[in-house]
Amino acid sequence: MVFSSLFFVFVFFLANILTQAFVPDIKKKNIVMLCFSLVFYAWSGLRFVPLLLIMTFICWVGAIEVIRAQARGKSGKPILAAAIVLVLLILGIFKYTGFFLKNVQLLTGVPKEIPRIVMPIGISFYTFQLLSYVIDVYRGDAEVQKKYWLLLLYASLFHQCIAGPIVRYRDVYEDILHRKVKLSEVSRGITRFTVGLAKKAILANGCSKVADTLLAAGVIETTSVLGVWLGAICYTLFIYLDFSAYSDMAIGMGLMTGFHYKENFNYPYTADSITDFWRRWHISLSTFFRDYVYIPLGGNRCSKARHIFNMFVVWGLTGMWHGASWNFILWGLYYFVFLVLEKYVIHPEQRIVKPLRRVLTLLVVVIGWVLFRFSDMGMLGTALKGMVGLNGNAFHTAPSWIIFQNNVWFLLFACVSVTPLGTHIANAMRNLSRKSAAWFWTYGVWDILHPLILLVLSTMALAGASYNPFLYFQF
């Protein structure tokens, strides 16, 4: 089940909203929310639920034992380490065993057959959430949760369990125990959800179709230079619209049920440096690695060599987190190189004017998404060579030009949608509504109608659609 399905929107989530509205007290609300969350997770594979239960149990027991050890005057660090190792070992078995054995096989010829291990959906997300919980309890940054089922609720909340954002327990602790639904937040939540749904159903899916047409195996070898770049740009648009759509819907659903999730994207394609890009892109993941890997390693309060090593570790792990494939590791280290160059060599904010910095940053990002897209190293090489005409491909051809002409207005709208222009217009209308009666009524009508319009358009786009994946589900 995905958020951008008619069954989810009009049956599952509507049922969840109604039960949350009519169930009288917070304990019963939480029990019902847990049931919905486990059903949602089990929808993708009932066999994966025990793994979620086990990993939550490990961190639940680990946090309690850490607190008991600290109460006896001990550090609790061995217990923390044991919980972290166990959870990461489980993640590693399911996510990286095949990758490891495949590389061993290439070097040694053994094993003859590589077992196929199906990766549980969302395991990377709820693993990081549970790790942040037990580490924060150890540090004294979060209250220990003595009730297992409430920690399971936190780990399995269907709003964000399988594709983020990565939510820290300390940020939703009060919401789990004492949340209250406000009418103003319900309104904001509906708007945010419908914006995310439209992003996914209309824009992301449309961009992905164009990218798949131009960058498909058997096609990319002869695609023109402009065609490869058009495909790369469409994939760049898709990956942001897809990822941010899920976060928008999660944040919106949270507001409708009393949960407050932090922002996960802040218009990253308007960044004026790679450092700025990673302050804006997948913020919950970036801050996780910052707080639980980078700073414990020493951050930037160390020698230059050590700082570069710390960055290398963080960006290598960032790449590995996204998938068990060399292209993801290469993608992470690609950003490591540019971040080191910005920090110690180029200093772009001192030497390059901001408009040019933005163009150069976006160029780096587009090429980076090409690395991200192709797990097959041969196809990756073909794509990169195709971008500069080294496949013997023409600069432009009629098929690529026709695809561009057929999608030009759609792509222009998609480009505008990844900028804050829409937000600026909405804010301007809101400010005018406070000064003018005419604008007050205009803005009021728009505020009511545009979520409904987006819902109708999204429903039309989804009706009968067979192409509707969420890319982050693979993580």
Check if the beta carbon of residue 314 is closer than 8 Å to that of residue 294: yes
325 Ramachandran zone, left/alpha/beta (phi>0; psi -120 to 50): beta
H-helix or E-strand spanning residue 11: none
H-helix or E-strand spanning residue 180: none
Output the pLDDT for position 380: 94
Output the pLDDT for position 64: 97
Output the pLDDT for position 468: 58
Q: For the chain, which residues make up each domain, given as ranges?
A: 6-178, 185-462
Please state at what angle helix 377-386 crosses helix 326-341, rounded to 10 degrees.
50
Output the pLDDT for position 134: 97
* Residues of the chain predicted below pLDDT 50: none
Span between the terminal Cα atoms of the chain, in Å: 16
Output the pLDDT for position 119: 87
Output the pLDDT for position 469: 56
Output the pLDDT for position 349: 83
pLDDT single digits (tens) 448-470? 899 999 999 999 988 866 655 55
Tokens read off for 2? 């995905």
Active site members? 322
Q: What is the rounded radius of gyration, in angstroms, for the C-alpha atoms of the chain?
A: 24
- The residues, ordered by sequence, that sit 6+ positions from 55 with a Cβ below 8 Å of its Cβ are 87, 90, 126, 127, 130, 155
pLDDT single digits (tens) 426-440? 888 888 888 888 888
Output the pLDDT for position 454: 94
Provide the residue type at 117 as one letter. I
* Single pTM value for the model: 0.93
